[in-house]
Amino acid sequence: MEFGSLSKLLISAAVIGFVGLLFRLYNALVAKPERLRAALRKQGVSGPKPSLLLGNILEIKKARDAAAKNTTDGAPVSHNCGSFLLPFFDKWRKEFGEIFMFSLGNTQILHVTQPDMVREITTCTSLDLGKPTYQAKERGSLLGQGILTSNGAIWAHQRKILAPELYMEKVKGMVSLVQESTITLVNSWKSIIEAENGIADIKIDQHMRSFSGDVISRACFGSNYSKGEEIFKRLRALQEAASKRVLATGVPGMRHLPTKSNRETWALEKEIKTLILQVVKERTEAGYEKDLLQMVVEGAKNSDLSQDAIDRFIVDNCKNIYLAGYETTAVSATWCLMLLAANPEWQERIRAEVVEICKGQIPDADMIRKMKQLTMAINESLRLYPPVAVVSREALKDMKFGDIKIPQGVNVWTLVTALHTDPEIWGPDSYKFKPDRFANGITGACKFPHLYMPFGVGPRVCLGQNLAVVELKILISLILANFSFSISPKYKHSPALTLVIEPGQGVDLLVKQL
CA distances from 204 to 116, 333, 382 (A): 39, 10, 18
Q: What is the pLDDT of residue 172?
A: 66
Residue 254 lies in a domain: no
- Residue 37 and residue 61 in one domain: no
Distance CA(436)–CA(15), nearest Å, equals 70
Residue 421 counted as domain residue: yes
Q: pLDDT tens, 174-229?
A: 788 889 999 999 999 999 999 999 999 999 999 999 898 888 777 777 666 677 67
User: Looking at the structure, do residues 7 and 134 belong to the same domain, yes or no?
Assistant: no
Q: How many domains does the chain have?
A: 2
Is the model's pLDDT at 143 over the cut of 50?
A: no
pLDDT greater than 90 at residue 20: no
- The answer to whether the beta carbons of residues 297 and 314 sit under 8 Å apart is yes
Residues making up the binding site: 462
| Residues 208 and 227 sit within 8 Å (Cβ to Cβ) | no
Same domain? For 145 and 34 the reply is no
Residue 392 pLDDT:
87
Residue 296 falls inside a structural domain: no
Name the range with the highest mean pLDDT among 242-246, 349-353, 388-392, 459-463: 349-353
Cα–Cα distance, 476 to 498 (Å, whole number): 24
Whether the predicted pLDDT of 248 surpasses 60 = no
Residue 237 lies in a domain: no
In this predicted structure, which of 46-55, 262-271, 373-382, 388-397 has the lowest mean pLDDT?
262-271
Contacts of 492 (CB under 8 A, 6+ apart): 71, 72, 73, 505
The answer to whether residues 75 and 3 belong to one domain is no
Of the candidate ranges 243-247, 272-276, 293-297, the one whose mean pLDDT is the lowest: 243-247
Residues 35 and 69 in one domain: no
Enclosing domain of residue 28: 1-42
pLDDT value at position 173? 67
Binding-site residues for heme sit at: 462
Kindly state whether residue 232 falls inside one of the protein's structural domains. no
Neighbouring C-beta atoms of residue 105, cutoff 10 Å = 22
Give the integer Cα–Cα distance in Å for 60 and 51. Answer: 12
Alpha carbons 330 and 471: distance in angstroms, whole number:
9
What's the predicted TM-score (pTM) here?
0.84
How many whole angstroms separate alpha carbon 420 and alpha carbon 262? 34
Same domain, 100 and 182: yes
> What pLDDT sits at residue 492?
94
How far apart are alpha carbons 337 and 384 in whole angstroms? 13
Report if residue 139 sits inside a domain.
yes
| Residue 74 belongs to domain with CATH number | 1.10.630.10
Same domain (yes/no): 20, 91: no
Highest mean pLDDT among 139-153, 236-250, 410-424: 410-424
- Give yes or no for a contact between 333 and 212, defined as CB atoms under 8 angstroms apart: yes
Q: What is the pLDDT of residue 235?
A: 77
Check residues 47 and 124 and name the one with the higher pLDDT: 47
Residues 448 and 503 in one domain: yes
Q: What is the mean pLDDT of residues 142-152?
A: 35
402 and 348 in a common domain: yes
Shared domain check, 1 and 82 = no
* Residue 71 and residue 3 share a domain: no
Weakest mean pLDDT among 113-117, 248-252, 278-282: 248-252
192 assigned to some structural domain:
yes
- Quick one: pLDDT band at residue 152, thresholds 50, 70, 90? very low
Q: What is the mean pLDDT of the chain?
A: 82
Counting DSSP H helices and E strands in the chain, the numbers are: 22, 14
Tens of pLDDT along 338-389? 999 999 999 999 999 999 999 999 999 899 999 999 999 999 999 999 988 8
Of 364 and 301, more confident: 364
Residue 460 covered by a domain = yes
69 and 38 part of one domain? no
- Kindly report, residue by residue over 31-45, the tens digit of the pLDDT: 788 899 999 999 999
The pLDDT confidence band at residue 112, using thresholds 50, 70 and 90, is very high
